[in-house]
Amino acid sequence: MKTMENEMNDKQKGELARKVALITGAGSGIGRATALLFAREGAQVAVCDLNRDGAEATVAAIQAAGGQAIVVQANVALAADCERSVRETLAAFGRLDVLFNNAGITRRANVVDTSEADWDAVMAVNVKSIFLMSKYAVPVMAEQGGGSIINAGSGWGLVGGKDAVSYCAAKGAVVNMTRAMAVDHGPQQIRVNSVCPGDTDTAMLRNEAAQLGLAATALVEAGNARPLMRVGQAEEIAQVVLFLASDRASFVTGSAYVVDGGGLAGSA
């Protein structure tokens, strides 16, 4: 049992003091913002990304601020890479308390215009990766006595969207897979939740605009139609992920947290 002194020390070090987190897609966007926030809140962070340069930049920023982090370069659609990611995290930090399955891609097209290769790629990165990372993380967390898994869903995992059939299908799968995992692993004290952002000002959103033949800032500007009259910032999504990872969410599992500036609620 923790003493009062230990509890005070943990609070002083942050909400994730003495915890280890593995974050996929942490070389940019929401993943990077979450890695930086987790480190500020006391976590040791395994920064996982296919893009090694991006992962190294995230780690450098964490270390410059006095935090602890390692680079894990991996293709999260491959079982061997996912198993190695968990193994390297354990080798560096000795445990695994939080897994944020954040890696994702999008291909903007309807069902007729979506190629089989694009469909497979979206499913592999957005859905299969969660299955694989969790497959290797859950036994570790169970042996430790619990943990928290947060899966990156989307507002389009709850409603449909135009010219994004593969992405909508993938994120719908993520939301319901999250519920199933919560049911399966609750007895092991592993909480599993999804965070469902709306449009967020990241390179991915600008890439979506390019896929649709729009100006780079077109989807950012379209956020003006939301009740809060803007798109989100990566740091705002990270704050919700932090809550789900922390002990403040100790009785939260199987939930889909919408963080979209009111987009699903309706527009003015």
**CB neighbour list of residue 143: distance below 8 Å, 6 or more residues apart:** none
Q: Who has greater pLDDT, 1 or 87? A: 87
Distance CA 170, CA 157 (A): 7
Whether residue 9 has pLDDT greater than 70: no
Helix, strand, coil content of the chain in percent (nearest 5): 50, 15, 35
Pick 17-197+233-258's CATH classification: 3.40.640.10, 3.90.1150.10, 2.40.50.70, 3.40.50.720. 3.40.50.720
- Give Cα 182 distance to the centre of its chain: 16
Whether residue 1 has pLDDT greater than 70: no
Tens digits of residue pLDDT in 188-238 = 999 999 999 999 988 888 888 888 888 888 888 888 888 999 999 999 999
pLDDT given for residue 222 in this prediction:
84
Can 167 be counted among the known catalytic residues? yes
Q: 93, 136, 156, 167: which one is catalytic? A: 167
Strands 44-49 and 147-152: unpaired
- pTM for the model: 0.92
Distance CA 25, CA 10 (A): 28
Answer whether 102's CB lies under 8 Å from 26's CB: yes
Tens digits of residue pLDDT in 177-191 = 999 999 999 999 999
* Six token digits for residue 101: 């399955």
Distance CA 204, CA 234 (A): 11
Tens digits of residue pLDDT in 90-123 = 999 999 999 999 999 999 999 999 999 999 999 9
* Six token digits for residue 259: 């963080």
Domain boundaries defined on the chain: 17-197+233-258, 199-231
Whether residue 10 has pLDDT greater than 60: no
